[in-house]
Amino acid sequence: MIHAPEHIKSISPYVPGKPVEELERELGISGSIKLASNENPLGPSPLAIRELRKGIRGLNRYPDGSCFYLKDALSAKLNIRPEEILFGNGSNELIELAVRTFMSPGDEAIMAHPSFVVYSMIVQAVNGRSIMAPLKDWRHDLDEMAARITPKTKIIFIANPNNPTGTVNTKAEMERLMNKVPEGVLVVVDEAYCEYVASPEYADSLKYFRNGRDILILRTFSKIYGLAGLRIGYGIANPSLTTEMNRVRQPFNVNSLAQKAASAALNDEKHIARSKRKNEAGKKYLYKELGKLGFTFVPTEANFIYVPLKDHGAFSLYNALLREGVIVRPMGQDAVRVTIGLPEENRKLIAALKTCKM
């Protein structure tokens, strides 16, 4: 019998939520809403949908392995060179490419806790070591992360905004960190939710990229662009880094429909603006109603809200909400994460919470 090595066997697999239809069948309910995965409730850009319909007839052909047209469009939008862009099957694949490219067994990666669980999973998959720095006031403590750098450190992961808390790091905090990062350490800034950020103090990661620092900026079309089902994200880094990661990247890793839809969605400013307005309105409503119900919550710069709970009540609340047809994401035993939905979805969530508290 073949056995996986211990560092693989000890990985706790990511547990996805069940399909809404299956949960409804199991619970005997209907009309459920999913507020668990931080998806854009408005759906994709109408321009992206149009391109998808047009692209179906070409599915007998392999996709463009270089994402030429999408890379060209993104290059023009961000004023960067095409060779400074790398695409992946979601930004998750780019996290994996970075770890596989720049880490060896025994190397260390520094990350916050709690933060995006995929960082530690992939580090463990290459037999690396994850160094966890606790959050401070629900935010990355970048000073503490800098203090944990050792000669074995190869990568520092920063989710900005952070998932699951929705908090951001400031320009001043990022500047202090970058001044302490030695040569040979890659800073990976995961900006999956950056388009939702309103804070004027939000750290400008592109500044360090343009100054030639060893930084990899990750962004995605899964969130505000509404293309989560097509799995496409991109990384921005200097060519010395993208060249090495391309050695590891598999050919045709981004499908043709994803490329076409992303190209169309990229410049649909009306859809992006509408998505932001809906999110801000939903955020204000949920802040008010959660406060009325006595819940504490972490103010967010993303499209979800982190709700800490007392007495390890996360799974009890999660299961109670399920029976009311509302799906949220338990974050361990002590918190749930709630996606900001459409107005009617937000109202259904609050109504369900009122029922659960009775």
Give per-residue pLDDT as tens, 326-335.
999 999 999 9
Is the pLDDT at 358 greater than 70? The verdict is no
- The arithmetic mean of pLDDT across residues 100-115, rounded, is 98
Asked whether residue 308 falls in the same domain as residue 227, the answer is: no
- The arithmetic mean of pLDDT across residues 245-270, rounded, is 97
Query: How far is Cα of residue 83 from the mean position of the Cα atoms in its chain?
Result: 23
> In the listed set 214, 235, 266, which residue is the last one of a domain according to the structure?
266
- The arithmetic mean of pLDDT across residues 53-80, rounded, is 96
Asked whether residue 222 falls in the same domain as residue 102, the answer is: yes
CB 112 within 8 A of CB 144: no
Residues 174-194: pLDDT tens digits?
Answer: 999 999 999 999 999 999 999
- pLDDT at residue 27, as a whole number: 80
The fraction of the chain above a pLDDT of 90, given in percent, is 89
Is the pLDDT at 132 greater than 70? The verdict is yes
- The arithmetic mean of pLDDT across residues 257-276, rounded, is 97
Q: Report the alpha-carbon distance of residue 89 to residue 230 in Å, rounded.
A: 8
Residue with tokens 């060779």: 83
Q: What share of the chain is helix, strand, coil (3-state, %, to 5)?
A: 45, 15, 40
- pLDDT band for 37, please (50, 70, 90 cuts): very high
The pTM (predicted TM-score) of the whole model is 0.96
Asked whether residue 231 falls in the same domain as residue 295, the answer is: no
Q: Report the alpha-carbon distance of residue 218 to residue 88 in Å, rounded.
A: 10
Q: Report the alpha-carbon distance of residue 124 to residue 9 in Å, rounded.
A: 10
- Is 211 within the bounds of a domain? yes
Asked whether residue 179 falls in the same domain as residue 191, the answer is: yes
Asked whether residue 242 falls in the same domain as residue 321, the answer is: no
Average pLDDT, the chain: 95
Asked whether residue 206 falls in the same domain as residue 287, the answer is: no
- The arithmetic mean of pLDDT across residues 278-293, rounded, is 98
Residue 100 tokens read as 């596989």
- Is 91 within the bounds of a domain? yes
Asked whether residue 23 falls in the same domain as residue 130, the answer is: no
Residue with tokens 């503490």: 144
Tell me: cis bond preceding 251? Omega within 30 of 0 counts: no
- The arithmetic mean of pLDDT across residues 241-245, rounded, is 98
> In the listed set 266, 301, 318, which residue is the last one of a domain according to the structure?
266
Give the domain CATH number at 278.
3.90.1150.10
Give the domain CATH number at 214.
3.40.640.10
Is the pLDDT at 17 greater than 80? The verdict is no
- pLDDT band for 226, please (50, 70, 90 cuts): very high
| Residue 114: DSSP 8-state | S
- pLDDT at residue 13, as a whole number: 78
Residue 132: name the closest of 15, 161, 35, 123 by CA: 123
- pLDDT at residue 158, as a whole number: 98
Instruction: With residue 352 as reference, give the H or E element that holds it.
Output: helix 343-357
Expressed as residue numbers, the domain containing 243 is 46-266
Asked whether residue 294 falls in the same domain as residue 210, the answer is: no
Residue with tokens 């060179």: 81
Residue 278 tokens read as 């809906």
- pLDDT at residue 14, as a whole number: 76
Instruction: Tell me the longest C-alpha to C-alpha distance in the chain.
Output: 59
End-to-end CA distance of the chain: 53
Asked whether residue 247 falls in the same domain as residue 212, the answer is: yes
- Is 1 within the bounds of a domain? no
Cα angle value 295/315/159 (rounded, 5°): 70
The Cβ of residue 264 has, within 10 Å, a number of other Cβ atoms equal to 25
The total of structural domains in the chain comes to: 2
> In the listed set 214, 249, 266, which residue is the last one of a domain according to the structure?
266
- pLDDT band for 92, please (50, 70, 90 cuts): very high
Query: b vs e for 48-82, b when ≥16 Cβ sit within 10 Å of the residue's Cβ?
Result: beebbeebeeeeeeebeeebeebbebbeeebebeb
- pLDDT at residue 357, as a whole number: 67
Residues 205-222: pLDDT tens digits?
Answer: 999 999 999 999 999 999
